[in-house]
Amino acid sequence: MSVSVELLSKRFGRSREVVGVDRVSFSAPEHGITSLLGPSGSGKSTLLRLIAGLEVPDSGGVLLNGDDVTKTPVRERGVGFVFQNYALFRHMTVFDNVAFGLSVRRAASSEIGERVGDLLRLVQLTGYEHRFPDQLSGGQRQRIALARALATRPRVLLLDEPFGALDTRVRVELREWLSRLHEKTQVTTLLVTHDQEEALELSEHVVLLRDGRVEQAGSPSEMYEQPKNGFVASFLGGAQVLTGRVDRGRAVFAREALSAEVDLKDGDLVEAFIRPQDVRLEKLEGTVTRAARVERVVRVGSTVKLSVVLPNDDKLAVQMPRYEFDRGGIGLGDPVRVDLREVEVRAALDASE
């Protein structure tokens, strides 16, 4: 089941001044996981609720398998919805929570029992049928919420920050579990998240939103390796953006402290998308003018994170393996050469555009 939205818009407030989503268009591939990614307030959850039918758009359309369902009631869309806070019925047992959708549809008792049993095996919670939500861990509750959403065999599964309320260790475990679950069910899934690592790890397709609009959409590798602009580069991988100009075949940044070879005309405005792990540092000996200097060093397990101050007072975040840092003999206050060979440098968009 494919999912497409076409020029979808939604505003809130008495005078409709608050933008939820603004002319959003994208397609989610059939049987895959598509992440709706972006910072808080970017329109991710609003977009998901519009697709589910929980909100009515001001304009635009929602298509499931090519059929326009924009005006179709929620129950007839064939979607399963999982909320961040689980939304389980606290007074119901695990069995009754999972069976709820089937009971509403007046399915036969034998069908309900068989389906609930299958789903509890699928989410690895067989034997928990008679427990109540308060007797489960956060991770277990979220798995029950997923089982409940799958009970009616939805054509599309919508997940709104499903791991947002969980601690880091449980989030990582559930990511792996969700990936395995999806391999078994193959249900088309849309996942709302603000966690770029989560989106890149789980998804086949990513839609990055900002202020209610799509900044870029594509495969995780395409988005990471070919960001459309500085916002995409910074959100996916924590890249910083430096601007400079081409001088004698080299892109020059930060008062000529940094440079990289480019195939562009002299005088062209350029920008570099610099991710912390793509930078290499080399300690400089003696008195050096116009050099970058190490301002901060933090050891985090096998990784060292550094803050480097450039001659124009910009700060650059650098991340390197601990063995490489130790081998280089770099310390606080040391002047360093910043190697940009692994950094993408491109012609910058004209400021007037």
Domains in the chain, please, with CATH?
A: 3-235 (3.40.50.300), 240-347 (2.40.50.140)
Residue 353 to residues 230, 245, 348, 349, 350: CA-CA distances in angstroms? 15, 18, 11, 7, 6
**Cα radius of gyration (the chain):** 25
Question: What is the pLDDT, as a whole number, of residue 146?
Answer: 92
Instruction: Write the CB contacts of 287 (distance below 8 Å, at least 6 apart in sequence).
Output: none
Q: What is the pTM of this model?
A: 0.87
Q: How many CB atoms lie within 10 A of CB 322?
A: 13
Q: How many CB atoms lie within 10 A of CB 66?
A: 8
Residue 237 to residues 47, 224, 244, 278: CA-CA distances in angstroms? 24, 7, 21, 10
Task: Give 85-114 pLDDT, tens digit per residue.
Answer: 778 999 999 999 999 999 988 999 999 999
Instruction: Write the CB contacts of 341 (distance below 8 Å, at least 6 apart in sequence).
Output: 260, 280
Strand partners, 252: 245, 259
Residue identified by tokens 């900044």 is: 215
274 touches 230 (CB < 8 A): no
Rounded CA-CA distance 199/167 in Å is: 17
Tokens of 327: 């081998």
Which stretches of the chain score pLDDT less than 70?
Answer: 349-353
Region of 86 (left: φ > 0; alpha: ψ -120 to 50; beta: rest) is left
Residue 280 to residues 5, 271, 304, 320: CA-CA distances in angstroms? 43, 18, 12, 8
Question: What is the pLDDT, as a whole number, of residue 352?
Answer: 37
Phi, then psi, of 254 in degrees rounded to 5: 50, 60
